[in-house]
Amino acid sequence: MSNAQDILQSVFGFQAFRPPQDQIIDSVIAGDDALVIMPTGGGKSLCYQIPSLVREGCGVVISPLIALMQDQVSALQLLGVRAAFLNSTLDATDAAEIESSLRRGELDLLYIAPERLNQPRTLSLLRDSTIALFAIDEAHCVSQWGHDFRADYLQLSILGELFPEVPRIALTATADERTRGEIIRRLGLEHGGHFIAGFDRPNIRYRIALKHNAKSQLLKFLKDEHPNDAGIIYCLSRKKTEEIAHWLTLQGFNALPYHAGLSTQVRATHQSRFLREEKVIIVATIAFGMGIDKPDVRFVVHLDLPKTIESYYQETGRAGRDGLPADAWMIYGLQDVIKLRQMMESSEGSEEHKRAEQHRLNAMLGFCEITSCRRQALLAYFDEYLAEPCGNCDTCLEPADTWDGTESARMALSAAYLTGQRFGVNHLIDVLRGSEGDRIYQFDHHKLTVYGIGTALSNDQWRSVYRQLVARGLLSVDLDRFGALRLEERCRPLLRGEEKIELRRDIKQKTAKRQTRTPLPSDVDVALWEALRDCRRGFAEEQNVPPYVIFHDSTLQEMCVALPSTLERLADISGVGERKLEKYGPAFVRVICDHLVN
């Protein structure tokens, strides 16, 4: 079989490509290089899987996560694709057998970790084999400006030098213009096609709120909206992931921690449970998630501020890969900003890198504070234009209330200036509100003209003012002085009375109870839906794969509506290819026929 359209239908069970999949696939089949920027769930994998089946030889996929290779390979094998992986989990005998299969031309796809591919033994193996293409997945890892930089990816430029006739396709869901440029330069893709499929994920609802009691806010969100759903919760530290996972378990949720400090075996076990079981919540640092293929993640939570908009987009994109409604929910505070800036300052990166990271953090903070459509702002960051507000983010659904904060902002800036730009938020608020604490008298701050002039605002309201001034770049945090606030040049026009400023009025979020899972069509018998799920679960347990590898929820829903009572009719359902029809078709048809009879 050599036709891409035939393979799409017979192997993968889909009737048509999503643009620009067809253009990318035609280009790679023709032997051209390609850079592909496509949102999570957009079908990136088909862009290299189908050309690997069309072209002579084996497609080699460089993937950064060993733990996920097994699931990807298992899913392909169930479709009848001759797939394998080479990584450190294999013993010498199994690895040797896979290497022999590659040399004999008996593999369609081979997954390799970047650190293994760079070894002389592996490069020699590839030179002795017929290679259809090289696919570099999660290609943003090659960029030192990206959010997931990996040194091993820098060596992948060698592929173009050693295999000049073999097409290379680099793929990622997240890369701004600077990162895209670095991927192209480092991998030598200047002469290949560059395909940007768009960044919008319209099924994801973006919601951001202030952090005032993280645990109670999280618990309300989960109980009201996702009591029985799978999801991911991101935290900044390993310690916090452990604490939140343990606490959620006590609240009755099936929660598991995941971070780089856990043993390889524990991480693999927790990841496997998340992929294969239902209703599992992973509480993780950013060590978790890259390449996650689970389609029914109904929510992604950030309990701390991500470092960059790229990180935020990449991590939230793990929700709703099946196209059904999902939530990206985040709470944050000024303390998050201080903590992230401390981490940046203590890093070993160059001054240029630190400045770039600072710029990206400022962009992230600004994104949190906007009062306009979040989706428009998010897409604009990646140079994509959305003509109308999305109607599916918090600022669209519940427009932010603003107030004229000009005078209060001037008071806040003056307090920072008159105290010598040496103090943090808490002390400045004490000055403005006329506190009689020891530190006020120790530094004679009760004698300042700003002392006691801010009693009209509460502590929380002043915190909001300072947070928004930092977010807008009028103040910065001096980490050498333990979080002291310093005035920036941009605040001059405001202090001189030449500008006014509108600030967001903070309110404690009242989370509306909402069911994000798309309800079944009204004419579907719930008993049939559950029977089909039971049938799927049985096959998944028997073959030790996640249920979605057998059939996605969307495929089961289509069965519920169409009620195919023969194999011929089942073949028309999206996601039912020839191999799955042969392997699972009779059992699912039997379930449907039993339902129709009863």
The CATH number of the domain holding residue 493 is 1.10.10.10
Residue 104 lies in a domain: yes
User: Could you tell me the residue range of the domain that residue 422 belongs to?
Assistant: 402-504
> Mean pLDDT, to the nearest integer, of 369-374?
85
What are phi and psi for residue 480, nearest 5 degrees?
A: -70, -15
pLDDT of res. 227: 93
Both 359 and 485 in one domain: the answer is no
Specify the long-range contacts of residues 246-249, CB closer than 8 Å, at least 24 apart: 247/215, 248/222, 248/281, 248/283
Structure confidence at residue 482 as a pLDDT band (50, 70, 90): low
Q: How many domains does the chain have?
A: 4
On the question of pLDDT at 143 being above 90, the answer is: no
466 and 554 fall within a common domain: no
| Strand arrangement, sheet containing 58-62 | 83-86, 109-112, 58-62, 131-136, 168-172, 34-37, 193-196
My answer on whether 365 and 441 are in the same domain is no
| Residue 357 forms part of a structural domain | yes
Using only C-alpha atoms, the chain has a radius of gyration, in whole angstroms, of 27
Kindly report which listed range (151-165, 204-218, 330-344) carries the lowest average pLDDT score: 330-344
Q: The domain that contains 578 carries what CATH number? A: 1.10.150.80
Higher pLDDT, 41 or 519: 41
In a domain, 38, yes or no: yes
pLDDT in tens, 147-176: 556 778 888 888 999 999 999 999 998 777
Residues in the chain: 598
- State yes or no: pLDDT of 120 exceeds 80: yes
Residue where a domain terminates, one of 152, 169, 196: 196
Other Cβ atoms within 10 Å of 497 Cβ, number: 9
226 shares its domain with 287: yes
Q: Are residues 454 and 432 in the same domain?
A: yes
pLDDT for residue 516? 44
Mean pLDDT of 395-407: 89
- pTM equals 0.73
Same domain? 321 vs 180: no
Residue 308, pLDDT > 90, answer no
Q: Is the pLDDT of residue 488 over 60?
A: yes
Pair 261, 144 in one domain: no
Q: Is 511 within a domain? A: no
Residue 289 has pLDDT above 80, yes or no: no
Q: How many CB atoms lie within 10 A of CB 388?
A: 9
225 and 328 in a single domain? The answer is: yes
Mean pLDDT for the stretch of residues 407-426: 94
Same domain flag for 365 and 228: yes
Q: Is residue 520 part of a domain?
A: no
| Single residue among 397, 424, 459 that ends a domain in this structure | 397
CATH code (residue 91): 3.40.50.300
Mean pLDDT of 490-510: 83
Which token pair is 160?
A: 């173009």
Per-residue confidence band for 508, with pLDDT thresholds at 50, 70 and 90: low
**E-assigned strands of 402-506?**
402-404, 475-478, 484-487, 502-504
Give the model's confidence band at 522: pLDDT under 50 very low, under 70 low, under 90 confident, else very high. low
Span 391-398, average pLDDT: 92
Report residue 198's pLDDT band, with 50, 70 and 90 as the boundaries: confident
User: Among the three residues 397, 423, 450, which one is the final residue of a domain in this structure?
Assistant: 397
Rounded Cα distance, 352 and 505, in Å: 36
Neighbours of 50 (CB within 10 A): 26
What value does the mean pLDDT of the chain take? 87
Q: How confident is the model at residue 514 (pLDDT cuts 50, 70, 90)?
A: very low
Report the run of H or E that residue 202 belongs to, with start and end. Answer: none
pLDDT surpassing 90 at residue 280: yes
Strand blocks (E) in 336-412: 402-404
Is the per-residue pLDDT at 209 higher than 70? yes
Query: What's the pLDDT band for 524 if we cut at 50, 70, 90?
Result: low
Name the residue among 589, 537, 491, 513 with its Cα closest to residue 221. Answer: 513
pLDDT of residue 307: 86
- Please tell me the predicted confidence (pLDDT) of residue 405: 92
* Shared-domain flag, residues 162 and 38: yes
Q: Is residue 212 part of a domain?
A: yes
Look at residue 513 in the predicted model and tell me its pLDDT.
Answer: 42
Domain contains 516: no
pLDDT at 291 over 80: no
Q: Which of 225-239, 301-315, 499-513 has the lowest mean pLDDT?
A: 499-513
Task: Report yes or no on 353 lying in a domain.
Answer: yes
With a CB cutoff of 8 Å and minimum separation 6, the contacts of 24 are 34, 36, 47, 169, 193, 195
Determine the Cα–Cα distance for residues 591 and 537; give it in Å rounded to an integer.
Answer: 13
Q: How many CB atoms lie within 10 A of CB 112?
A: 23
**Interatomic CA distance for residues 65 and 272, integer angstroms:** 13
Distance of alpha carbon 503 from alpha carbon 405, whole angstroms: 6
Answer yes or no: do 391 and 424 share one domain.
Answer: no
Return the higher-pLDDT residue of 271 and 174: 271
Both ends of the chain: CA-CA distance in Å?
A: 42
Mark whether 161 and 208 lie in a shared domain.
Answer: no
CA distance 577 to 572: 9
